[in-house]
Amino acid sequence: MQTMEQPFLLYDDTYELIYSRLVMANLDPHISFRVIEVHPLRMSYLCEVQSKDTTWWQWVSLHRGNSRKMYTKPKVRHKKVPALT
């Protein structure tokens, strides 16, 4: 895995959104993180998260479809089975 050579700056709202997703996923508000890698097509960020004395890496997706709270299962309409004649 390659880390980025240049420092990566996040917008304030993106930073807050990543932080809120990490807090929702881990239920720990006292975390610090830094973005290591960005996947632009999936709109996801690989973060190194630190909480107390543990460190782990976690992908955070900002795409609306992958959100834990906003996502609802779509209603699927099944086609009728063709009648055998």
The whole-angstrom distance between residue 53's C-alpha and the CA centroid of its chain comes to 23
42-77 core/surface letters (b: 16 or more CB in 10 A; e: else): eebbebebeeeeeeeeeebbeeeeeeeeeeeeeeee
Type of residue at 33 = F
What is the chain's mean pLDDT, rounded? Answer: 76
pLDDT tens track for 22-44: 888 888 888 899 988 888 888 88
Q: In 3-state terms, what secondary structure has residue 24? A: helix
Higher pLDDT, 83 or 31: 31
Model pTM score: 0.61
